[in-house]
Amino acid sequence: MAAPTTTDIELLTEHFGYAPVHQHHRRARHQLHRARPPQRAPLLPRLPRPHHHHQNQTRPPPYDPATAHRHEITSGTHQLETLLFASIDKNFDLFEIYTMRNILCIRPSDRDYLRLSHYEGLVLPPDPTTPDVDSVTRLRRRLQASQKLNTMLRAERARNASLLAALRELVVHDAGVVKREDGGVAAAPFAFVQTASLALAAESGSESPVATTTAFTLSQLEALRALSGSLGRIGADLAAAPAGEGEGEGRRSWRRERLEYVETAARKHLERVRGLDLGEAGEVRDGEGEGGGGGGRRGLGQGEVEGLEEVASSLGRRTGE
């Protein structure tokens, strides 16, 4: 049999005061207590009580057989009563244990939920980790926010997956071609996304065009900062312009500056890229005029100039239509 635990001992000790069982226990002890004099009386002889004299108290009393007999009978009856009381207590304790286990049906799993009498009025400090209404509400709100965020992320993931699938269908990874129904091949509509980056890498002689572009952008930061500073000064000058100038005149000056900028940019493009020799008024020189062909640039012949004029006139007619 397993040794009883502390919980079992405390529970049994507390329920020893159970009224129905304890009442029978007290009655049995009371009956035994009432039976003490009748049990002791026949055993004691009817001897006269010895007289004690005050003189010679220092001398030990002489041995008296009657007194020794009385003492032996009293001690024996007391030991017998003690054994009877212990037997009654033990038997009623067993009866009370049987009552709890088989009549009251207190199972070991239910003992932690019993409130004993010595727990009355005992105030225990609350556990800081015990959840309350506010903590449960906050936790529920956090859970709802997490579920909402999870739903949004899943929807965003589905949209991104569908977009990537559509882009993979448009951009062919193998050779940038798609098959036709008649067996031929045609270029994919978005194949330039890959071919352009490959061509740029081939022209620059680098296998990492992104790094090259980034390095070029970083090299132009100083120029962009200087341009931004000059634009800021121009803006301050424009803000400090006299208010007497009319709005129409300012608009005309803005249009004139824009026209001059476009003409200058077009002139530089024609001279540097096309290799044309332009005059002061923007006319194309034929290479035979003054200046000897415009400082070493290749001049245009008479036929080339006429061809350019015909192309310009045809473009003007198409624009008018």
In degrees, rounded to 5, the angle at the alpha carbon of residue 72 between the alpha carbons of residues 68 and 75 is 135
**Global confidence as pTM:** 0.28
**pLDDT tens for each residue of 112-151:** 777 777 777 888 888 888 888 999 999 999 999 999 999 9
The 8 Å CB, 24+ separation contacts for 111-120 are: 111/7, 111/8, 111/11, 112/7, 114/11, 116/10, 116/11, 116/14, 117/14, 117/17, 118/14
More confident residue, 149 or 269: 149
> Mean pLDDT, to the nearest integer, of 77-103?
83
Going by the DSSP 8-state scheme, the letter that residue 57 receives in this structure is T
> Mean pLDDT, to the nearest integer, of 299-307?
63
**Tokens matching residue 17:** 């005061």
E strand segments, the chain: 177-179, 185-187
Is it the case that residue 175 has pLDDT exceeding 80?
no
- Give residue limits of the domains in the chain: 6-45+66-117, 162-178+186-219, 258-287+299-321
Is it the case that residue 288 has pLDDT exceeding 50?
no
Distance between CA atoms of residues 274 and 266, nearest Å: 11
pLDDT band at 44 (very low <50, low <70, confident <90, very high): low
Distance between CA atoms of residues 71 and 66, nearest Å: 9
> Mean pLDDT, to the nearest integer, of 189-212?
60
More confident residue, 39 or 246: 39
User: How high is the pLDDT of residue 215?
Assistant: 80
Where does residue 300 rank: exposed (0-12), middle (13-18), buried (19+ CB within 10 A)? buried
